[in-house]
Amino acid sequence: MCSAIHLAKKGISCVVWEKSEFPRHKVCGEYVSNETLHYLNYLGFDPYEYNAVNISEFQVSHWNGDITHSLLGQGAFGISRFVFDDVLCRLAHQAGAAVLAPENVTSVEKQDNFYDVKTNKGSYQVEILISAHGKKSNIDRMLEREFFQTDNDYLGVKYHFRYTLPSHQVSLHNFPNGYCGVSMVEDEKINVCYLTTKTNLKQFSNIDEMEKEVVFQNPYLKDIFTNGDKLFEEPKVISDFSFRPKLPVEDGILMVGDSAGLIPPLCGNGMAMAIHSAYIASNNIEGYFAGKIDRAGLETEYTSAWNKNFKPRLEAGNKLQQLFGKKTISSLALKGLHLAPFLLPAIIKKTHGKDFFRDE
Give residue-wise pLDDT tens across range 106-129.
999 999 889 999 999 999 999 999
Share of the chain above pLDDT 90, in %: 62
Of 24-33, 103-112, 214-223, 332-341, the range with the lowest mean pLDDT is 332-341
Given CATH 1.10.3720.10, say whether it is the number of domain 2-359: no
Contact between 79 and 33 under an 8 Å Cβ cutoff? The reply is no
> How confident is the model at residue 137, as a pLDDT?
84
Task: Give residue-wise pLDDT tens across range 70-90.
Answer: 888 889 999 999 999 999 999
Q: Higher-confidence residue: 238 or 316?
A: 238
219 pLDDT above the threshold of 90: yes
Half-sphere exposure of 295 (CA within 13 A, CB side): 9
Q: Evaluate whether 158 touches 193 at the Cβ level (below 8 Å).
A: yes
10 Å CB burial of residue 208 (0-12, 13-18, 19+) is: exposed
Ranking 91-95, 109-113, 276-280, 284-288 by mean pLDDT, the lowest is 109-113
- Give burial (CB, 10 Å; 0-12/13-18/19+) of 11: exposed
Cα(148)–Cα(184) distance, integer angstroms:
33
pTM of this prediction exceeds 0.75 = yes
Indicate whether 167 pLDDT > 90.
yes
